[in-house]
Amino acid sequence: MTKVVGFGGIFFKAKDPAALRAWYAKHLGLEFDPWGSISFRFEATSPAGRDVYAVFSPFKDDTEYFAPSSAPFMFNFRVDDLDAILAELRRDGVEVLPDLADEEGCGRFGWIIDIEGNKIELWEPPVK
């Protein structure tokens, strides 16, 4: 059985992401990258030798990135074999969204819908 190997991050909607990022920077000392996210990097690597980190990222409240879910959040889970887990989920009758993304330097992404209609992002980080 394939499985999730870690928590990749939490993405959530905000009325004013720039102001919220500024608040987190001022009051908690968090430093956001140019994409508006923070990557908390861990010393360990995954079983496949990939870097391990979790992302914290506010999105504009009218984003369509979480669609078709109407939830104000989206979980991101780290996987070591995106193709294998998506194939297994399809066999189990889980709704797997048709789009896949392969972003150079960021890794590969696929999406599923849980039984309550929440969109979940599955992320296979790039190999070091």
Among 74, 71, 10, CA closest to 39? 10
**Mean pLDDT computed over 100-116:** 90
Whole-number Å distance between alpha carbons of 58 and 51: 22
* CATH code for residues 4-124: 3.10.180.10
Identify whether the C-beta of residue 57 lies closer than 8 Å to the C-beta of residue 9.
yes
Q: How many residues does the chain have?
A: 128
Domain residue limits, the chain: 4-124
Return the minimum-mean-pLDDT range out of 27-31, 33-37, 88-92, 112-116. Answer: 27-31
Identify whether the C-beta of residue 48 lies closer than 8 Å to the C-beta of residue 116.
no
Q: Residue 68: is its pLDDT beyond 80?
A: yes
Question: What are the structure tokens assigned to 109, written together?
Answer: 């992404």
**Mean pLDDT computed over 97-120:** 92
Helix, strand, coil % over all residues of the chain, rounded to 5: 15, 45, 35
pTM (global) more than 0.75:
yes
Question: What are the structure tokens assigned to 18, written together?
Answer: 């720039």
Whole-number Å distance between alpha carbons of 52 and 112: 22
Which tens digit of pLDDT belongs to each residue from 10-51?
999 999 999 999 999 998 789 999 989 988 887 766 666 777
